[in-house]
């Protein structure tokens, strides 16, 4: 997951390959709650690991559930409808799939609870659900604005609940209100069956007021309830009947299918991008999720899609995509992807009946309209619709996309990087995808093909601090890092271990060693044939050997292809002595870092002394000057700044100041401006 303040997506030209998606958020949190309410132990497989599922797991643990790892699965010992705590304060982030169902369940389970979340959660309405629960006789107080979290829930005896009359709940704001009641009310139905009075044989009925939105999500709820032993009778979309005596029963093992909403981005990718197409594994034609119907919308726009029980295969068909006019109420989350696909259509695309967008993680109609306009699009929007006009090649603009702490905004707009104008797209706060798909961008990069991967080169003499600077800059940008000096140091180490010398007589043998280095980097370690050689290559002697082998033309040629292979999405920061002159002459930004020999010797002296290595300043300075002379006078790729490099003398600068300067230069060569 990228935790940087922004992530720059370079222009993307095509995409091919296979992706396996994480588990569905909607299914994951429903399954977790049902497993907690049921008797017995449930092992959950393929559970989504995300912010929303973590807050649900934390809440269930606070309620007394025992939760253990079982290999790749999660074993949950259910409460069997009885709390093991008298109360708790639960923080639920911005997870509506945790806040709404837990509100209903805790109102029936008993105990004193406070439920809160992030500020946006306190702006998301919950009044209709609370009103329905209060009808029953539950006691719930608002701790802030009426109709919104945070909430205080107080215990009531189950036998005091008013279950004779139908429980009425609005269906036109959020389907999560109805889902919450369906998941929780079997607690009351089961309790009623244990009482020896007239209520023992009574069903519990829920009536929906108004048009029920997002019906496919209710289908998910009913499907999962059935897996846990609750057979709800549905009378159209207006009445739902929970039979008297209903009790949750653990299915033992349950698998979470991949997230159909997340699949929408890769379905769109296959429809937009040139290439051999995209195969999605983990979700297919028989999915229980409503958002699988995004496939129908993508086909209407011209995508070629094949499917099986657990897979989808998508390739580009009609181009440009075909404009659509769609009632998107049945795919509220996935429909956001259509709004970005509309930029590539042959006419305006209208998405209707999407009022629920306004009460999601952000006001999604407003957010999508604003960010699409930044890209240059003409957008019309209203209370429950959005109309997006396509963009001609000349109309695209580079833009910084604000994500509003909304994972789906971030993922949708990544598709704008395939624009025909070849412009990059900046995604602000990319870490928000952790809500449902922490590795989204990594997954995208595994199949995307860039027109050109950006490179930032930091060259300079030995001990100038280029490695420290490059690592820090790479971290800030979320880019890969190449320490070219490590490659030469490892080559020097391999040379010594094979009894060779850095001279013309052994040049070809050393070059062959370099070509076939069994080298890999793992968690900050340098592994040679599986051996951690991180310390062995950091000695002064190893540095001298690296300088000597780098002067051998055949060795440099052998390592050139290896160095270039580090150029991968989303970008690369490379440090060395000829990154900007030889290896990446087309780099977006080149920095030549230097400092006086005296300053560099002093830094190296402090570094070695801290490691308990005895040395002298004069000796270090002499070694550095000799190395500078050898590097600058070698016949191949002599050490010197690239003609277009920006010079940075850091003799008097801290690392932080140097990083700040390089990042400022980087911003100067980007097209985003202050948008």
Q: Which residues make up each annotated binding site for 3-phosphoshikimate? A: 25-26, 30, 174-176, 214, 333, 360
d(CA 364, CA 359): 8
* Cβ neighbours for 644, distance < 8 A, ≥ 6 positions apart: 580, 590
DSSP code of 478? T
d(CA 348, CA 342): 7
d(CA 152, CA 146): 12
d(CA 445, CA 568): 8
Alpha helices in 342-383 (DSSP H): 364-374
H or E element that contains 55: helix 51-62
β-partners of residue 16 are 277
Spot the catalytic one: 8, 51, 259, 333: 333
**Number of CB atoms found within 10 A of residue 613's CB:** 11
Strands (DSSP E) along 171-286, which ranges? 204-209, 233-235, 239-242, 253-255, 274-281
Burial of 366 (C-beta count, 10 Å sphere; 0-12/13-18/19+):
middle
Which segments are annotated as binding site for phosphoenolpyruvate?
Answer: 25, 96, 124, 176, 364, 408, 435
Which segments are annotated as binding site for ATP?
Answer: 460-468
* Cβ neighbours for 664, distance < 8 A, ≥ 6 positions apart: none
Whether omega for the bond prior to residue 570 falls within 30 degrees of 0, making it cis, is: yes
3-class DSSP assignment, residue 509: helix
d(CA 104, CA 97): 12
Q: How big is the chain by its Cα radius of gyration, in Å?
A: 30
- CA 128, distance to chain mean position in Å, is 32
Closest CA to 21 of 45, 43, 51, 46: 46
Is residue 206 left, alpha or beta, with left meaning phi > 0 and alpha meaning psi from -120 to 50?
A: beta
Task: Supply the angle between the helices 186-193 and 175-184 in degrees, to the nearest 10.
Answer: 20
333 noted as active-site residue: yes
Task: Supply the angle between the helices 175-184 and 96-109 in degrees, to the nearest 10.
Answer: 40
- CA 532, distance to chain mean position in Å, is 31
Residues classed as catalytic: 333
């Amino acid at each position: 997951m990228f935790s940087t303040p922004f992530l720059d997506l370079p222009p993307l030209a095509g995409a091919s390959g296979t992706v396996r998606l994480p588990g569905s958020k909607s299914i994951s949190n429903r399954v977790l709650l049902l497993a907690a309410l049921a008797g017995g132990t449930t092992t959950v497989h393929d559970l989504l690991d995300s912010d929303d599922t973590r807050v649900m797991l934390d809440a269930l643990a606070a309620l007394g559930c025992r939760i253990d790892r079982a290999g790749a699965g999660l074993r949950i010992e259910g409460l069997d409808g009885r709390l093991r705590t008298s109360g708790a304060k639960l923080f639920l982030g911005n997870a509506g799939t945790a806040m709404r169902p837990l509100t209903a369940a805790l109102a029936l389970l008993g105990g004193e609870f406070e439920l809160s979340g992030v500020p946006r959660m306190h702006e998301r309405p919950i009044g209709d659900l609370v009103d329905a629960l209060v009808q029953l006789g539950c006691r719930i107080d608002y701790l802030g604005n009426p109709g919104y979290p945070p909430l205080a829930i107080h215990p009531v005896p189950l036998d005091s609940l008013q279950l004779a009359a139908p429980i009425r709940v609005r269906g036109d704001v959020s389907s999560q209100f109805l889902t919450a009641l369906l998941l929780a009310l079997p607690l009351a139905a089961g309790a009623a069956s244990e009482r020896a009075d007239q209520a023992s044989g009574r069903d519990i009925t829920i009536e929906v007021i108004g048009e029920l939105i997002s019906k496919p999500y209710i289908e998910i709820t009913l499907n999962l309830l059935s897996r846990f032993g609750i057979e709800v009778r549905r009378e159209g979309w207006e009445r739902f009947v929970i039979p008297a005596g209903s009790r949750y029963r653990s299915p033992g093992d349950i698998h979470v299918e991949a997230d159909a909403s997340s699949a929408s981005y890769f379905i769109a990718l296959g429809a937009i991008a040139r290439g051999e197409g995209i195969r999605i594994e983990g979700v297919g034609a028989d999915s229980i999720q409503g958002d699988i119907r995004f496939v129908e919308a993508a086909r209407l726009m011209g995508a070629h899609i094949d499917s099986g029980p657990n897979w989808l295969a998508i390739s580009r068909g009609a181009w440009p995509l075909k404009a659509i006019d769609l009632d998107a109420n049945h795919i509220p989350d996935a429909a956001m992807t259509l709004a970005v696909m509309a930029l590539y259509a042959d006419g305006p695309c209208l998405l209707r009946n999407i009022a629920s967008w306004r009460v999601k993680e952000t006001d999604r109609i407003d957010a999508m309209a604003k960010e699409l306009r930044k890209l240059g699009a003409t957008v019309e929007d209203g209370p429950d619709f959005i109309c997006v006009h396509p963009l001609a090649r000349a109309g695209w603009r580079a833009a910084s996309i604000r994500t509003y702490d909304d994972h789906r905004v971030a993922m949708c707009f990544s598709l704008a990087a395939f624009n025909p104008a070849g412009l990059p797209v900046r995604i602000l706060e990319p870490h928000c995808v952790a809500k449902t798909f922490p590795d989204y961008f990594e997954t995208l990069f595994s199949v995307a093909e860039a027109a050109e991967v950006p490179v930032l080169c930091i060259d300079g003499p030995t001990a100038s601090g280029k490695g420290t600077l490059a690592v820090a800059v790479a971290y800030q940008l979320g880019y890969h890092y190449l320490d070219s000096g490590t490659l030469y140091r490892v080559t020097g180490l391999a040379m010594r271990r094979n009894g060779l010398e850095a001279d013309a007589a052994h040049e070809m043998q050393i070059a062959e060693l370099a070509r076939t280095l069994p080298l890999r980097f793992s968690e900050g370690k340098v592994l040679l044939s599986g051996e951690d050689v991180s310390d062995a290559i950091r000695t002064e002697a190893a540095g001298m050997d690296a300088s000597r082998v780098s002067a051998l033309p055949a060795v440099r040629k052998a390592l050139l292809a290896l160095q270039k292979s580090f150029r991968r999405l989303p970008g690369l920061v490379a440090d060395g002595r000829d990154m900007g002159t030889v290896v990446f002459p087309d780099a977006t930004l080149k920095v030549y870092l230097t400092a006086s020999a005296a300053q560099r010797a002093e830094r190296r002296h402090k570094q070695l002394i801290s490691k308990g290595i005895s040395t002298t300043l004069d000796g270090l300075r002499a070694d550095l000057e000799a190395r500078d002379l050898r590097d600058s006078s070698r016949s191949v790729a002599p050490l010197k700044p690239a003609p277009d490099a920006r010079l940075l003398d850091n003799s008097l600068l801290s690392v932080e100041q140097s990083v700040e300067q390089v990042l400022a230069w980087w911003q100067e060569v980007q097209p985003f401006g202050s948008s």
